[in-house]
């Protein structure tokens, strides 16, 4: 019996390709070439599965052009690159890679918060530029983390990880806003209190965004929300580009309407709004929150296990549209 055909859309660990090759005829992208949508569709034609990394859009155009496709396995917890309704209508399963990146991403969210509040990169740039000729009492004075109020918008697994770090490690008071309130035991574990979004924005010293992207969460933070924040507050986005209106944020930072921001994700990334590149009070990182080798291996393993499980036995570990499994 011939093996199913699978496309791996981006460069990944060689071991991931070897593992997939035990089960499938694999076409991969070892040079990590950037494919246009037309090239992607051309390569995907005739394949039953695709390994994606979160940046390849799977929509009706792709699905109509590739009727043999049965599964798209994302090496990412976020799956806003999937048009889930169109996939379900075409009987195509989507899978994501949750849990395995939770603690690594929460570590990074906290690191970005600390770098932002304590002006670590801004002061390093100053030193590297040879501008440090004399110490002064208020040089790069930032804001405290310990004992401050941490406001988390989006209290899923990663949000809870950041809350636990803040409450237990740094004695922060944690408030959160989420589509639905957590049950009492989870709130107790995170020492977190549920508040409305406006109250959170007006109260928190540090606001961290960990909400999934959808049309409903587009520009969760825009000019109006930034205006509610304290002028001393910081904002961190480790969620998705588009959750923050980057142009409005650049204005708020330049005019010091908030103190600082830390961004790992951007609207239209890898492009970054040019105004963000010129304001000093923002820490910018290139979407690396889950980037440790053990975690990226675990994400690649989970995505490949989903492909192997579904195409060989009809089962998947982490489906995002399980109705496709139920309909089989």
| Residues lying near ligand 8YV in the complex (CB under 6 A) | 53-54, 75-78, 101, 289-290
Q: Which is nearer to ligand 8YV, 46 or 78 (CB)?
A: 78
Q: Which is nearer to ligand 8YV, 108 or 176 (CB)?
A: 108
Q: Which of 254, 257, 287, 297 is catalytic?
A: 287
Contacts of 98 (CB under 8 A, 6+ apart): 77, 157, 318
CB of 79 to ligand 8YV, least distance (A): 8
What are the strands of the beta sheet with 234-237, ordered from one edge?
A: 192-194, 173-177, 149-153, 206-209, 234-237, 260-263, 282-284
Cα–Cα dist 10/324, whole Å: 25
Instruction: List, in sequence order, every beta strand (DSSP E) within 102-258.
Output: 149-153, 173-177, 192-194, 206-209, 234-237
Question: Smallest Cα–Cα separation from 49: which of 323, 300, 299, 309?
Answer: 309
CB of 308 to ligand 8YV, least distance (A): 19
Q: Is 269 a catalytic residue?
A: yes
Q: Which is nearer to ligand 8YV, 53 or 306 (CB)?
A: 53
What tokens appear for 114 in the block? 């600390």
CB of 192 to ligand 8YV, least distance (A): 22
Q: Which is nearer to ligand 8YV, 53 or 234 (CB)?
A: 53
CB of 238 to ligand 8YV, least distance (A): 8
3-state secondary structure of 203: helix
Rg (CA), the chain: 22
Q: Is 240 a catalytic residue?
A: yes
Output DSSP code: residue 58: B
CB of 300 to ligand 8YV, least distance (A): 9
Q: Is 157 a catalytic residue?
A: no
Q: Which of 240, 267, 273, 296 is catalytic?
A: 240
Cα–Cα dist 260/256, whole Å: 8
What tokens appear for 37 in the block? 């949508």
Q: Which is nearer to ligand 8YV, 281 or 285 (CB)?
A: 285
Give the residue numbers marked as catalytic. Answer: 240, 269, 287
């Amino acid at each position: 019996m011939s093996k199913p055909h699978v496309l791996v859309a981006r460069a990944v660990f060689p071991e991931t390709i070897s593992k997939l090759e035990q089960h499938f005829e694999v076409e991969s992208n070892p040079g990590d070439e950037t494919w246009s949508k037309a090239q992607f569709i051309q390569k995907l034609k005739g394949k039953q599965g695709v390994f994606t990394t979160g940046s390849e859009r799977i929509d009706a155009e792709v699905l109509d052009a590739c009727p043999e496709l049965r599964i798209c396995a994302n090496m990412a917890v976020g799956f806003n690159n999937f048009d889930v309704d169109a996939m379900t209508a075409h009987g195509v399963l989507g899978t994501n890679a949750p849990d395995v990146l939770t603690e690594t991403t929460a570590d990074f969210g906290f690191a970005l918060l600390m770098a932002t509040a304590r002006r670590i990169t801004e002061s390093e740039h100053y030193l590297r530029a040879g501008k440090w000729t004399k110490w002064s009492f208020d040089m790069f004075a930032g804001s405290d983390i310990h004992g401050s109020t941490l406001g988390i918008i989006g209290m899923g697994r990663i949000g809870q990880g950041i809350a636990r770090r803040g409450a237990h490690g740094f004695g922060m008071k944690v408030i959160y806003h989420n589509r639905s309130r957590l049950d009492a035991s989870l709130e107790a574990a995170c020492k977190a209190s549920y508040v409305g979004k406006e109250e959170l924005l007006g109260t928190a010293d540090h606001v961290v965004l960990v909400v999934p992207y959808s049309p409903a969460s587009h520009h969760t933070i825009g000019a109006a929300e930034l205006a509610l924040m304290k002028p001393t507050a910081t904002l961190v986005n480790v969620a998705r580009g588009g959750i923050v209106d980057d142009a409005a944020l650049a204005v708020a930072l330049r005019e010091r309407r908030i103190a600082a921001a830390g961004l790992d994700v951007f609207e239209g990334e890898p492009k970054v709004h040019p105004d963000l590149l010129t304001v000093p009070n923002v820490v910018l990182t290139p979407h690396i929150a889950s980037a440790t080798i053990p975690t990226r291996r675990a994400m690649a393993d989970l995505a490949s296990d989903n492909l192997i499980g579904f195409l060989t036995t009809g089962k998947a570990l982490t489906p995002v549209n399980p109705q496709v499994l139920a309909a089989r």
